[in-house]
Amino acid sequence: MMKRLKSISVRDFRTIRGEINVPLDAPVVLIHGQNGMGKTSLLSALELGLTGKIASLRGLDVDFASHLVHKEAREGHVSVSAEGVTDGAERAVLTISPDGVAGDRLLPAEAARFYAERCYLSQATLGRLLELYQVKDARRSDSPLTKFVKDLLGLDRLDALIEGLHDSGDVRRLRTPVPTFWEVREQIQNLERKHLQFTGERDHLQVEQEGVRVGLLPWLQLLDIDVPSPLEVESLDGQLANDGEESELQRLAGLRRDAMAVQNQWRSIATDVPPAERERAEIAARNAGEAARAWRAEHGQRFELALSRVSELLPDVDLPSPLDLERSRVAALKAVQAEFARCDSQIKRDAEGAAKLASMDLDLDRARSRLSVLEDQLARHAATSGGLAQALSGLLSHVHGEDCPVCGRDFGEVSARPLQAHVSDRIAELTVSAGRLQALAKERSEAVAIIATFERDRGSVAGRLLTQAARDQLKMRRMRLDELRRVLEALAEIVSNGERLAHEAAGATRALEALRARDQKAGVLRDACQSLTTQVGVAPLGTSEALEAALERIDGQIAATETRLTDRQKARRASRERLREYASLARRLEHLGVAIADLERRLAQLRDGKEQAEARILQARDLAGRARDVRTNIVRRVFNESLNAVWRDLFVRLAPEEPFVPAFALPENPNGPVEAVLETHYRSRGKGGDPRAMLSAGNLNTAALTLFLSLHLSVASNLPWLIIDDPVQSMDEVHIAQFAALLRTLSKQHGRQMIIAVHERPLFEYLALELSPAHENDRLITIELGKSPSGDTIVNFEPRIWLPDTAIAA
Amino acid sequence: MIATPMDRIASMLDEAGYRRLEVPLKIAGLEFDLPMAFVGGDTSQDLVLVADTAFEPEQRILRKLEGVARALDVLSSRRPLTAVLAGPRPGATVLDAMSRVCRVLPTGTAFEGDGEAAIKNWLAVLLPLHLPQPSGEIPNPLDEVAASLDGFEPEIAALVETARDGTEAVKARFYELVAESVSHLDSSTEL
């Protein structure tokens, strides 16, 4: 079915006020209206209804969406119908409010894009096309032309993909943006190094361990321990710990000590006691004993009696044992002498005391008689003479004449001496008496003190004197002691004799005892030796065997056993040491094994992650590559000779006199960034320069217009529609005529449905003529947009059908 | 047969399906003495008049053209009128006057180069437009890339969609994907 736009209704949209219904069901629709009457509004309403967007406005006003509704209305409506473009609905109804657009567009996405890019030449697009020539350096990748081309082809997104994936080309570029990935890579290297180090260490330890195991075997054999093929450390250690040697060695050491003791003692005995010596000793002992006994019988009792009397007299004195004759005698003598001296001196001191007492009594009597004289003298003096003298001298000042101040009588009656002299004499007399009294008193007190001293001394002397009984007893004692002293002194020689005899007897007895002990020891030693033989495990001591020989045998056996045991001990120690070493190596190996396993696990994880990441990077790289390929293909496909050929053809139709034609410089390097470059070709081949330099302003406009048409025509006609908004604003008449012819060709020959808006009346008329229906099914609709006096938009449309021409017979 | 530019023009128009009319041309009972006249074929209503300024003064040609135009107007004909002028280009005043009543194609004198090409350029607007084989569907680059991604990880393939948000979005997502692969790993250096 023909794809054709059928009609559009617009209400309160942009400059259109009220509702208008515009039929579009014709190959050519010409719209005329003064500026501001709503031509562009109508066409953008069409774009909105078809594509759901107004791409042509977006470039002009970012905020355009909020101005879509007519300023006096609250919402606008657009309804577009067409046929042959969708499988379903052929009408789209959209409601526009300041909040947005509600309703679905009419065209499917792909067609909508095509419409916006290649069907609808809005003022904005035309402006952009003209801009292409304004920039000096069109070779910049962000030049308007390049941007236009990229927008047109959707290459900006492709570039975004390619640029975005640029870092996938070399993992080193990911170092900064994706540090974790880089860390994992480095970590893998670290772990691999570590793994190598650990396994090396493990191999080394295994060799070492085997060495230790081999070294252990001979020792274990020596200990008669069966070696299990893999060493079982614990059971082996248990076996080795069972140390029987030590106690045995200790026992042997004890035995050796015993044997040594036996040997030493044996050496001290040297030999058995000869019988003759023993007999001599026995006789000597007996004789000495007899002499001692004889002495004791003769003198012993006397001596003992003397000693007992000493003890009796001096119970406090400790005497050595009476058996120690001389010493006890000397001690007793000393004690007796000391006691005798004490008694003697005591008696002498007592006698001196008695004599002294007698002389003291004499002195005391004399002192007492002097005291009594002094007492008498004192009594003669008035005791108060001193006080009276003082009182009288006080009274003397009151004596004025002969009258007594005391009694008031006239002294002259008594004496011829004046009273005053009398009193003065009396005072002098009294004063002398007082002085004597004082001296006497002093004398008396001294005498009393002397007597007291004498009495005290006498008391102490008298106290020291012995009583008569005590004196007698002391004298008796001194006499006894004297006797005893003499006895003890007399016993000196006898006691010394006795002592000598006792010594001799004791010596003889001791010698005899020693001989007897030696005899007995030899027997004991042989018994000990016999016991040793059984303990050590050698042949028993023969009756005729010398003790030394037997001891030597025992020694030899002990030494041999000790050597054997020590060897075993050494083997045990060595084994345990090696076993410990083995166990420690085994532990280290185990730890190492765990560490290696952990390393390998982590390495595997990290490698997995790294592989996944790298796979993604590779795919991303591949993706970028494909995007580049696609870009290359598209650039090749679009900017091909056919586009240039169409452009050239169209341009020449509009500007037949122009010697240069514009063209796209075909991309030389399709892999590089897209750089759309315009150039001109001289018509008769050969390159010209930059279009800006080569073409007039009018022809630049023509170039822009024809570029759009070329882009529309160079692809399969998805939508055979061309909607052009006031395209001829700066064209001269010649160009307009040519352009009209071109439009007619596109309409009549290539079946494009056209909607063209113009604001110039003559041009509108001219185009209406040029685009008149050419055959039976051809049709033209002309539309005039205007405003009613009330401001509502009004539409005058006139469909024109084909009428056979009568002017020239066909 | 092609002795003059007129012949060349005639042959081109013939070739393009224009039908030659008898001359002198008769419209509304009037006769116009023109060297050649053509009308368009099925899709074109054009009346094409051909004259040679080398043989006829330009003023007279102008008068004839104006006459034809007036005659067509009288009959309310909607045929567009085109004048193809061979020979030297008329003066500007005359050309302007001509342009007011019809489309004028002054092919001029071919002094140099390819005369035929020059005439063809001028006539091009009357000739059918031959479009090259259209280059297929308008390309949608991202779709084309997306279509070639069989066997790609869905996350990577989805980057094509991300590209709609621009370079930085693709970059960020790509980094994220790489980081994601290793993010769950323990990358500490301790053992």
User: Using the beta-carbon criterion (under 8 Å), do B129 and A746 form an inter-chain contact?
Assistant: yes
How far is the alpha carbon of B29 from chain A, nearest alpha carbon, in Å? 10
DSSP string across A15-37? TEEEEEEEE--SSEEEEEE-TTS
Query: What's the pLDDT score for residue A674?
Result: 60
Structure tokens at A116: 């916006």
Can you tell me the mean pLDDT for A400-425?
83
Instruction: Select from B45, B178, B189 the Cβ nearest to the Cβ of A174.
Output: B178
| Chain B residues inside the 8 Å CB shell of A774 | 40, 42-45
User: What contacts A680, CB < 8 A, 6 or more positions away?
Assistant: A660, A661, A662, A663, A687, A688, A689, A690, A691, A694, A695
In this predicted model, what pLDDT tens digit does every residue of A486-509 receive, in sequence order? 888 888 888 888 888 888 888 888
pLDDT, one tens digit per residue, over B24-38 is 888 888 889 989 999
How far is it, in rounded angstroms, from Cα A67 to Cα A630?
Answer: 39
Helix runs in B16-153, H state only = 58-74, 92-101, 115-123, 141-147
Q: Which of B20, B10, B15, B40 is nearest to A748 (CA)?
A: B40
Optimal mutation site among B177, B182, B190, interface A, most CBs of chain A within 10 A? B182
Residue A785 reports pLDDT greater than 90: yes
Sheet of A100-102: strands edge to edge?
A: A16-23, A4-13, A76-83, A91-97, A100-102
Chain B nearest-CA residue for A111:
B138
* Per-residue tokens: A377: 């003298």
Chain A positions touching B162 (Cβ under 8 A) are 161, 164
Helix (H) or strand (E) holding A529: helix A492-536
Q: Which of B139, B175, B184 lies at the smallest CB-CB distance from A178?
A: B175
| Rounded mean pLDDT, A741-762 | 90
Q: Does the beta-carbon distance from B164 to A749 stay under 8 Å? A: no
Dihedral pair phi/psi, residue A177, rounded to 5° = -70, -30
Percentage of residues of chain A with pLDDT beyond 70 = 93
CB contact under 8 A, B177 and A652: no
Of chain A, the end-to-end C-alpha distance in Å amounts to: 31
Chain B contact probe: residue of A110, A180, A650, A717 with most B CBs at under 10 A: A180
Residue B49, strand partner residues: B37, B83
Q: Does B30 touch chain A (CB under 8 A)?
A: no
Interface probe, candidates B143, B161, B164, B185, chain A, greatest A C-beta count within 10 A: B185
Q: Is the dihedral of CA A508, A510, A513, A519 positive or negative?
A: negative
Q: What is the C-alpha separation between B86 and B54, in angstroms, rounded?
A: 8
> What pLDDT, on the 0 to 100 scale, is given for residue A382?
64
- What is the average pLDDT value for chain B, to the nearest integer? 84
Tell me the nearest-neighbour CA distance from B6 into chain A, angstroms: 18
**Do the chains contact at B141 and A684, CB–CB below 8 Å?**
no
- The reported pLDDT for the residue numbered A94 is 92
B contacts of A113 (beta carbons < 8 Å)? 138, 140
The answer, for B92 touching chain A at a CB cutoff of 8 Å, is no
Average the pLDDT over B78-107 and give the result: 90
Contacts of B133 in chain A (CB under 8 A): 642
CA–CA min distance A738, chain B (Å)? 6
CB B3 within 8 Å of CB B111: no
Classify residue B67 as left (phi > 0), alpha (psi -120 to 50) or beta. alpha
For A546-566, the pLDDT digits (tens) are: 778 888 888 888 899 889 888
Strands, E assignment, A588-637: none
Q: Which residues of B88-117 are buried (b: 16+ CB within 10 A; e: fewer)?
A: ebbeeebbebbbebbbbbbbbeeeeeeeee
Distance CA A302, CA A491 (A): 9
d(C-alpha B93, C-alpha A311), whole Å: 194
- Contact of B123 with B107, CB cutoff 8 Å: yes
Decide if pLDDT at A80 tops 90.
yes
State the DSSP code for A410: B
User: How far is A339 from A320, CA to CA, in rounded Å?
Assistant: 18
pLDDT of residue B50: 93
Give the integer Cα–Cα distance in Å for A758 and A40: 10
How much is the pLDDT for B2?
64
Out of A5-9, B118-122, B130-134, pick the least confident.
B130-134
Percentage, residues of chain A above pLDDT 90: 15
Q: Specify the range with the lowest mean pLDDT, choosing from A228-237, A398-407, A421-430.
A: A228-237
pLDDT digits (tens, 9 = 90+) for A576-599: 888 889 889 989 999 999 999 999
Cα–Cα distance between A381 and A440 in angstroms, integer?
A: 10
In the numeric block, the tokens 């030999």 are attached to A271
**Residues in A touching B128 (Cβ below 8 Å):** 745, 749
N-terminal to C-terminal alpha carbon distance within chain B: 100
Q: Quick check: A710 and A650 in contact, CB under 8 A?
A: yes
ipTM over 0.90: no
Phi-psi group of A237: left, alpha or beta (phi > 0 → left; psi -120 to 50 → alpha; rest → beta): alpha
Q: Show residues of chain B in contact with A174, CB under 8 Å.
A: 175, 178
B138 touches chain A (CB under 8 A): yes
Tell me the C-alpha distance between A589 and A198, whole Å. 10
Task: Determine whether A268 is exposed, middle or buried from the number of CB atoms within 10 Å of its CB (0-12, 13-18, 19+).
Answer: exposed
Q: CA-nearest residue of chain B to A748?
A: B43
Residue contact A153–B152, C-beta within 8 A: no
Distance set, CA A104 to CA A12, A108, A696 (Å): 19, 10, 44
Cβ pair A705, A654 in contact under 8 A: yes
Q: What is the dihedral of CA A663, A665, A667, A672, to 10 degrees?
A: -120
Mean residue pLDDT across chain A: 84
On chain A, the residues whose CB falls within 8 A of the CB of B129 are 649-650, 653, 742, 745-746, 749-750
The C-alpha of A208 sits at a distance from chain B's nearest C-alpha, in angstroms, of 25
Q: Examine the pLDDT at A780 and tell me if it is beyond 90.
A: yes
Contact A23, A81 (CB under 8 A): no
Residue A400's pLDDT is: 81
Residue of B nearest to A162 (CA): B167
Burial of A239-266, coded b for 16+ CB within 10 Å and e otherwise, reads bbeeeebeebbeebeebbebbeebbeeb
Please name the helix (run of DSSP H) or strand (run of DSSP E) that holds residue A438, with its range, or none: helix A419-464
Could you tell me which residue, B104 or A684, shows the higher pLDDT?
A: B104
> Nearest-CA distance from A717 to chain B in Å?
8
pLDDT score of A198: 92
Q: What is the SS3 assignment for A186?
A: helix
Q: Do A684 and B160 touch (CB under 8 A)?
A: no
Q: Pick the residue from chain A with its C-alpha nearest to B127.
A: A745
CB contact under 8 A, B77 and A638: no
Residue A229 has pLDDT above 70, yes or no: no
Taking phi over 0 as left and psi of -120 to 50 as alpha, with beta for the rest, B136 belongs to left
Residue in A630, A716, A750 closest to B141 by CB: A630
Contact A766, A740 (CB under 8 A): yes
pLDDT band, very low/low/confident/very high, at B189 (cuts 50, 70, 90): very low
What is residue A182's three-state secondary structure? helix
Is B171 close to A177, i.e. CB distance below 8 A?
Answer: yes
Angle at which helix B167-183 crosses helix A547-638, to 10 degrees, equals: 160
**CB A758 within 8 Å of CB A767:** yes
> What pLDDT, in 10s, does the model give residues A22-42?
999 999 999 999 888 999 999
Which residues from A are below 8 Å from B75, CB to CB? 806-807
Closest residue to B77, CB basis, from A620, A774, A807: A807
- Calpha distance A466→A456 (Å, rounded): 18
* Closest alpha carbon within chain B to A646: B131
Number of residues in chain B = 191
State the pLDDT confidence band at B191, using cuts at 50, 70 and 90. Answer: very low
Residues shown for chain A: 810
| pLDDT beyond 80 at A167 | yes
Question: Which range (A110-114, A565-569, A631-635) has the least confidence?
Answer: A631-635
Which residue is closest to A738 within chain B, CA to CA?
B125
Closest residue in A to B155 (Cα) is A616
With vertex at residue A89, the alpha carbon angle to CA A88 and CA A90, rounded to the nearest 5 degrees, is 115
Q: How far is CA A425 from CA A323, A417, A420, in A?
A: 101, 11, 9
> How many C-beta atoms lie closer than 10 Å to residue A545's C-beta?
15
Position A138 confidence tier, pLDDT thresholds 50, 70, 90: very low
Q: Which residue has the higher pLDDT, A632 or B73?
A: B73
The Cα–Cα gap between A617 and B180 comes to: 12
| Chain B residue with the nearest C-alpha to that of A602 | B186
Q: Label residue B131 exposed, middle or buried (CB < 10 Å: 0-12, 13-18, 19+).
A: middle
Does A808 sit within 8 Å of B159, measured CB to CB? no
Of A174, A642, A769, the CB nearest to B135: A642
Token pair 């006497």: residue: A440
Residue B112: closest C-alpha in chain A: A684
Q: How far apart are CA A387 and CA A487, in angstroms?
A: 83
Longest dimension (CA), chain B: 112
Beta strands in A569-676 (DSSP E): 660-665
d(CA A55, CA B158): 26
Of A797 and A435, the one with more pLDDT: A797
Predicted local distance difference test score (pLDDT) of residue B114: 63
Chain A: residue whose CA lies nearest to B188: A187
Distance CA B67, CA A481 (A): 210
Is residue A663 within 8 A of residue A687, CB to CB? The reply is: no
Which run of H or E residues covers position B38?
A: strand B36-39
What crossing angle do the helices spanning B115-123 and B5-15 adopt, rounded to 10°? 50
Residue A139, pLDDT > 70, answer no
| Section A230-254 average pLDDT | 80
**B81 in helix, strand or coil?**
strand
Cα(A96)–Cα(A78) distance, integer angstroms: 8
Q: Do B136 and A642 touch (CB under 8 A)?
A: no
Lowest mean pLDDT among A166-175, A629-638, B8-17, B161-170: A629-638
Question: Which residues on chain B are in Cβ contact (under 8 Å) with A592?
Answer: none
Whether A127 shows a pLDDT value over 60: the answer reads: yes
Contact B163, B142 (CB under 8 A): yes
DSSP label of A403? B
Span B103-127, average pLDDT? 78
CA distances (Å), A361 to each of A351, A458, A463, in order? Answer: 16, 8, 14
Q: Which two tokens stand for residue A176?
A: 């900064």
CA A625, A626, A631, A634 dihedral sign is positive
